[in-house]
Structures are given as C-alpha cells and as structure tokens.
Amino acid sequence: MTHISETEIASPAILYQDEYIVVVNKPAGLLVHPSWISPANAPNLIKWLKQQFPGDTFHTIHRLDRATSGVIVFVRNDKLAAQQMHQQFLDRRVSKTYLCVVRGWSNAEGTIDYPLSQRKDHYADPHARDEKPPQEAVTHYRTLAHVELPIPVGRYPVARYSLVEVKPETGRKHQIRRHMKHILHPLVGDTKHGEGRHNRLFREHFNLRRLLLMATELRFDHPVELKQVHVHAEPDDVVKCLFEALGWHNLEKLHQEPDLRT
C-alpha cells in the first residue's frame, strides 16, 4: 500500500479577508485557542492571526476541533459584526460542508436526527457541569464514493470505507463524529468515537495518523456588507495523496457524480 508522508503542522492560509472578517484554512493538529491541556508555547490559530494583523482583536464565531482541518471564520475588531455573525450560526443560516472518511459502505444519502447530550469532560474543562438534557442535533450526509481494500480486519477478509459529504444543520460538540458513529459508520482516525482496528489499518498501511474530517465550505451573509460570502478549501496534500491511493481521483467529479459501484 502507498505510504503518505506526514510532516509537522502546516501553516494556516487566508482564504478571504476584508476589514471586518477573515476566513482561514486551519491545518489539522493546530489549536484554535491556547489550551491549558497543551504546552504553553503550543502554536494556535489566534496567535498566528495576531502576528498577521498586529493590533487587531479577533472574535471567535465558531470552532473546529484541533484534529479537524479546514474553513473557519473570525470577525476582526467589530463587536456588532461579531454579534451578527454569531446570530447567523444560532439561526442556522450558515451553510457548512465537511468531507470525511468513514468505516463501511454508507447509504447514498440520509439525515441523522439524533439528539446529543453535552458531555462533561473534566480533563479538558475542570469546571464542567453535569450533563445537560440532550439537545436537538441534525446532520445531512451524501456518500461520494466507496472503496474496498484487500486487507483483513477482524473476521472480515476485506476493509470497506466511504467518502462522505456532510452538512450539519446544528452545531453540537463532536456532532459529525458522534452522528456517524450512531449510524455505525465511525470516522477513520477518530480516537474518541472511532474504531481502533480501522485507525490502526490507516497507520500501518498508509502511515496516516490523523482524523479524516475536513471543513471544506462555508456560505454566510456578510455581517456588514450586502453580499453573501462563499469560501471553499481543498483538502491538504496529505489527504489528496490518500484519496489518490484509494482511487478517489477527482473530487469535483465525485461531487457531481458519486461513484458507489459495489
């Protein structure tokens, strides 16, 4: 099998900017904010932004997990613009698109409507309160491609995986990861909600040690100007190399014509 070379955390890239907002392509493995569970000098996206725009204040509107790569938007300086952007997310007027690789052959498309509890994590947050009642959580997905690898996993002689486009309607913590696990298609590389045997397969056969979840698109109304902003991020070179090895050669074509041959 092809081995993919993973290096240190890549640099972020600015996808869109104006005087009010900046949209960044966050690499996998980079924190958005400083965290007490990481070394004090660990790199983070906010620190990087302040280096790019000295003197600016950045308002966080939404989050990406450290392990997730892709599109994330910040508001620069303007509190009213930040409130407007935050309200868009609350009102579900922001379109978010992700790509992920999951275990098994998922259905062509579907909607996961499954409430999620806010789980306390005293390691990550020592002040976390007890779990709250489950909150509404809705995820739409569409399968773009299947692949079967001639590698035994457990009692199965082959390993099957799917490339899935996901559009979360709500924004609960680890929503995509937990919802895909709920329908028995956990994400590859997910050490918390995934399956160790399949994570190990990708480490041993592809030298890949990361969560295969990428935020690829954001569409939202500009918080000040009368226009819509649409920002797209291609998967990074490591993911592209993996997709090539799995036979997923043309992402644009797969989005238009999914390849679900069995």
Q: Is 154 exposed, middle or buried (0-12, 13-18, 19+ CB in 10 A)?
A: exposed
Q: Is the pLDDT of residue 3 over 70?
A: no
Q: Residue written as tokens 């790199």?
A: 43
Output the pTM of the full model.
0.92
Contacts of residue 44, defined as CB under 8 A and 6 or more positions apart, other chains included, come to 30, 31, 32, 33, 34, 35
**Does the annotation mark 65 as catalytic?**
yes
pLDDT at 68: 96
Q: Which residue in the list 18, 56, 65, 259 is annotated as catalytic?
A: 65
How sure is the predictor about 125, in pLDDT bands with cuts at 50, 70 and 90?
A: low
How sure is the predictor about 193, in pLDDT bands with cuts at 50, 70 and 90?
A: very high
31-60 tens-digit pLDDT:
998 877 666 677 899 999 999 999 999 999
Q: Is the pLDDT of residue 150 over 70?
A: yes
Q: Could you tell me the domains of the chain?
A: 13-256 (3.30.2350.10)
Q: What is the mean pLDDT of residues 64-92?
A: 96
Q: Is the four-CA dihedral 65, 250, 204, 236 of positive or negative sign?
A: negative
Alpha carbon distance 124, 186 (integer Å) = 22
